[in-house]
């Protein structure tokens, strides 16, 4: 346990308090009035679009999909933005899987990706387009089935958690009325 020194909170206790506040805020944003069905859809679509190997447009796709399905746009965008490091980390693996699945066109190498990230403007636009198209093809074949598999699992977990939370609320209200 962190101990108080001279009335000040130690760094470990401050981090613990900050993490508790952050978890509460994330839970509030993610769960604000959403049913387990809508929350699981929001999480699955947010993660799937968040790892999409597309340098632009995932935010717009999340907004359009959330408005079309009447999901919480703030929650979907939060999940999408939290997945941004994964999007960067998975771009090259998606490119390699795409090259294996779709062998036509020029190949993208690791040096090509380093040059693209560093801003080398000598890159050919067609090479970037081929790499992105292959990565998107691999993403469609990998992320879509994973999101479809994760949805019922997540929905079931959220339903059981929601039932436990409502049972606790009913039990606590019932005991308050009896007191």
Per-residue pLDDT of 123-176, as tens digits, reads: 666 777 888 889 999 999 999 899 889 988 888 887 776 555 544 444 444 444
Q: What residues contact residue 48 under an 8 Å CB cut-off, 6+ apart?
A: 143, 144, 146, 147
Under DSSP, is residue 146 helix (H, G, I), strand (E, B) or coil? helix
User: What is the C-alpha separation between 95 and 131, in angstroms, rounded?
Assistant: 6
Domain assignment present for 72: yes
Domain assignment present for 102: yes
Q: What is the DSSP letter of 124?
A: -
User: What is the C-alpha separation between 26 and 21, in angstroms, rounded?
Assistant: 9
Domain assignment present for 42: yes
Q: What is the mean pLDDT of residues 47-70?
A: 90
List the domain range (segments joined by +) for residue 125: 35-178
- Token digits of residue 122: 């000598």
Overall number of domains in the chain: 1
Task: Please report how many Cα atoms fall inside a 13 Å half-sphere around the Cα of residue 90, on the Cβ side.
Answer: 20
Q: What is the pTM of this model?
A: 0.64
Domain assignment present for 44: yes
Instruction: Please write the tens of the pLDDT for every residue from 74-129.
Output: 888 999 999 999 998 998 899 889 989 888 776 666 666 666 666 665 666 677 78
Domain assignment present for 133: yes
Domain assignment present for 11: no
Domain assignment present for 123: yes
Domain assignment present for 28: no
pLDDT score of 170 = 40
């Amino acid at each position: 346990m962190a101990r108080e020194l001279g009335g000040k909170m130690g760094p470990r206790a401050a981090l613990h308090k900050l993490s508790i506040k952050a978890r509460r805020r994330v839970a509030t944003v993610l769960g604000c009035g959403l049913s387990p069905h809508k929350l699981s859809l929001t999480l699955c679509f947010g993660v799937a679009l968040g790892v999409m190997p597309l340098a632009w447009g995932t935010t717009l796709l999340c907004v359009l999909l959330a408005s079309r399905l009447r999901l919480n746009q703030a929650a979907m965008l939060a999940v999408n933005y939290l997945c941004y490091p994964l999007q960067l980390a998975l771009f090259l693996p998606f490119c390699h899987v795409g090259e294996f699945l779709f062998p036509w066109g020029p190949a993208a190498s690791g040096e090509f990706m380093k040059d693209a990230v560093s801003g080398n403007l000598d890159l050919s636009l067609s090479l970037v387009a081929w790499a992105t198209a292959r990565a998107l093809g691999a993403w469609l074949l990998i992320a879509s089935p994973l999101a479809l598999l994760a949805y019922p699992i997540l929905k079931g977990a959220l339903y059981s958690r929601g039932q436990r939370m409502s049972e606790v609320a009913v039990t606590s209200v019932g005991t308050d009325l009896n007191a």
